[in-house]
Amino acid sequence: MTKKQVTMVTFAMVLANVMAGLDSTIINTAIPAIIADLHGIQFMGWIIAIMLLGMSVSTPIWTKVGEKIGNKATFELSLLFFVLGSLFQGLADNMYFFLLARALMGIGAGGMGSLPYIMAGFIFDNIKARTKILGYLGAAFSVATIVGPLVGGYLVDSLSWHWVFYINIPIGLLAILLSLVYYHEGKIRKTPKFDILGSFLIIVGLTLLLLGIQLLGLTKPWIVASLIIAGLVLLVLFFMHEGGHPNPVVPISMFKNRALVGDFLLFIFSWGAFLAINTYLPMWAQGLLGTTALIGGMTLIPNSLVDVVGTLVVNPLKARFNNRTLLSMGLICILISSLGLALAPQSTNIWWLAIIGTFSGFGVGFIFVLLQIKVQVDASEKNMAPATSLSYLIRILAQTVMAAVYGVIMNVQLAQGVAENSGITMNMLNKLSDAASAKSLPQSLLPTMRNIFHLGLQEIMWCATALLVIAIGLNFIFNKK
């Protein structure tokens, strides 16, 4: 491709990362308004979980589709799915349609988030140039996460929550157009037969398992148990099948590398813990302090800013400290945030909330670069690409599972609060998280309702704290230096 073509395709990949970054934080400021408008506080965890579920089951499939029809067509198709999902979410008038549209968006995001890194590997042969481009992609994501809370808060307060999804449509269509016009892919290499059975097993297995987890406390125990057991059985069959397939969906051989397993475990526990802070910090401000969506979203801005700082200071520090020390530093930063929120009283003002959340942003940015480099080194040059892709999938899975778990924790606490306090209903708690809707609630019951919500938030933060303590222990086990 010519220099202009490469530049335009790179811009298309940057736009894809901008949309991914925007959605990762803009949705958090819109959730209170969405659940108030669509009456679905019991589905609050699903809003995050079903997006991550779509990403989880589709990521390995998109990679294999790219091998068959080419990364160009696959990238454009994933963008189209993301745009359509955004459109349908904005048009949703009930929570069920909204969640279906969000699942479609998640499927698109699975390809939109992973394919640019694979495309960059083919477009940029020079390692230094490729590293520079990957830096641009990461920076685009980080900057979008900073802008997301501001844009989301403004759109929700000035227009409506629907516009946090409509904003993706022009960005996505521009990215598709740039790829259509400027991306000229080389000859598609022949690959072994597509693993249809493996794809079926992992998609259905993960879906059943995660549905079972999300339904904890919401339906009969035997239904939950059946879903989880069926999901686990299918995943076991998946791993048995993949071991003998010439073109596996997930390269099982990666799990025989002890160092890589350690890296993956650290990604799982740290990303699962960070999700709690990133999702529930704005809701704390809106539900407990009665702030607007804009102000609630601003609690994440310091977090996102220092995330960028964390990614920049890793390389200078690597020359002075070993991996175990550096990873411990990052994990402790996230721990300060989760433990601080777990201990914070209900009356904690918004400035302290933002300061407490800042530590987790630095820790996550720091750990991401460190672990991503470590994954590639531990995998060796031969397996660097599949290991990088697998680490992306594992991070999504960790967040998918923990989004479901956090949703269950909150649902159980809310149900307990309704049962113990006469006069308070789930519909009233639906309105609590949105400042405008909360004005219609009985003022005498607001302290009790906020106490119920606060207890749920605290339990979520204690769960995140436990994950980080485990991660620190795993760091000492797998990283001797």
Domain match, 170 and 201 both? no
Domain match, 139 and 167 both? yes
Residue 206 has pLDDT above 70, yes or no: yes
pLDDT at 384: 67
Domain match, 218 and 239 both? yes
Domain match, 170 and 239 both? no
Q: Across all residues in the chain, what is the average pLDDT?
A: 82
Q: What is the pLDDT of residues 48-76, one digit of tens each?
A: 778 877 887 888 788 778 877 888 889 99
User: Could you tell me the pTM of the whole model?
Assistant: 0.75
| Torsion over CA: 88, 137, 140, 4 (sign) | negative
**302 in any annotated domain:** yes
Give the mean pLDDT of 101-106: 91
What lies within 8 Å, CB to CB, of 391 at 6+ separation is 263, 264, 267, 371, 372, 375
How far apart are alpha carbons 389 and 354 in whole angstroms?
Answer: 33
Residue 90 has pLDDT above 80, yes or no: yes
**456 in any annotated domain:** yes
pLDDT at 191: 62
Q: Identify the three-state secondary structure at position 194.
A: coil
**112 in any annotated domain:** yes
- Token pair of 447 as six digits: 């302290």
Look at the chain and report how many structural domains it folds into. Answer: 3
Give the mean pLDDT of 363-377: 80
**190 in any annotated domain:** no
Q: What is the pLDDT of residues 223-281, one digit of tens each?
A: 888 999 999 999 889 888 877 777 777 777 788 888 899 999 999 999 999 989 888 88
CATH code of the domain containing 82: 1.20.1250.20
Task: Give one DSSP letter per residue of 354-392, joined into a string.
Answer: HHHHHHHHHHHHHHHHHHHHHHHHHHTTTTHHHHHHHHH
Domain match, 115 and 77 both? yes
Domain match, 310 and 399 both? yes
pLDDT at 444: 77
**Better-scored residue on pLDDT, 77 or 145:** 77
Domain match, 444 and 304 both? yes
Domain match, 156 and 305 both? no
Domain match, 222 and 288 both? no
Domain match, 151 and 232 both? no
Q: What is the pLDDT of residues 148-191, one digit of tens each?
A: 777 887 888 788 888 889 989 999 999 999 988 888 877 766 66
- 23: exposed, middle or buried (Cβ count in 10 Å: 0-12, 13-18, 19+): buried
- Where a domain ends, among 246, 263, 280? 246
- Where a domain ends, among 183, 203, 234? 183
Give residue 463's pLDDT band: very low, low, confident or very high (50, 70, 90): very high
